[in-house]
A = this chain, B = another copy of it.
Amino acid sequence: MSNMKRVLFKHRSIRKFRSTPIPEEMLRDILEGATRASTCGNMQLYSLVVTRDEKLREELSPCHFNQPMVRQAPCVVTVCADVHRFSMWCRQREAEPAYDNFAWFLNASTDALLAAQNLALAAEENGLGICFLGTTIYTAREIARILNLPGGVIPLTTVVMGYPDEEPGLTDRLPLNAVVHYEKYEDYTAAEIDELWAERESSEETRRLLEENDLPNLARIFTERRYVRKDNLAISESYFELLKEQGFFNN
């Protein structure tokens, strides 16, 4: 198996890190790797905020619900959509930038997330472990405040990275035909949905979760414990407000 394939296929999220710092040159290489991803019109509409300072990671920690990895991992990278830098350049050239709208939130997010995945793989290729923190969108406003993000910049996700202090197994995935459609989107029948989730639903892990949560099935753990409507609506509203405040919705 090629080393690339090994990196892709061996990915698992790491949640326990050693405190060993990432060598300067390795970090630089990983960040360079991130910038090689495709980018809209070669505009590079993103910024990577690399936080290593312990006090500052402590300050960020509550934004990520105090998950210990934010304090443990030597490097926390906040991945941001960024039309600010490009717009500033335009204004300095007496060109009127027009990137303060939803289309450019989408373009900038795409740039940022493709770069983020390159970052993650480059880190793993160097023997580091990573974890994406979905909490970033829950508390984007507070993260923006701590990191001094100007208008035109908004956090999308966070990658913690460092030397792993655990060796978790691979996470299962749905069968490939769950996510792949050939030619057009072929909607699922009820029987297909049952089949796609069958293995996961009958796993030991699921049995344990149901017992712990005192719920009759795995889906209800998602809807009643993990990602519940009230929170989802609050996050939607606060992020959309921030999007407007940061100047991504002058439509």
- A residues near B, CB below 8 A? 2-5, 7-9, 11, 13, 28, 31-38, 40-44, 46-53, 56, 80, 82, 85-86, 88-90, 92-99, 101-104, 106-107, 109-110, 113-118, 120-122, 125, 131-132, 134, 137, 146-150, 153, 156-157, 171-174, 176, 178-188, 190, 193-194, 196-197, 217-220, 222-224, 226-229, 232-233, 235-237, 239-240, 249, 251
Contact A222 B176, beta carbon cutoff 8 Å:
no
Cβ A232 vs Cβ B180 within 8 A: no
Please name the 3 residue pairs, one residue from A and one from B, whose CB atoms are nearest each other, closest first: A98-B229, A93-B219, A117-B117
- CB <8 Å contact, B50 and A181: yes
Chain multiplicity (copies): 2
Q: Do A8 and B232 form a contact, CB below 8 Å, given A103-B239, A187-B150, A217-B93?
A: no
Among B28, B88, B95, point to the contact of A223 (Cβ < 8 A): B95
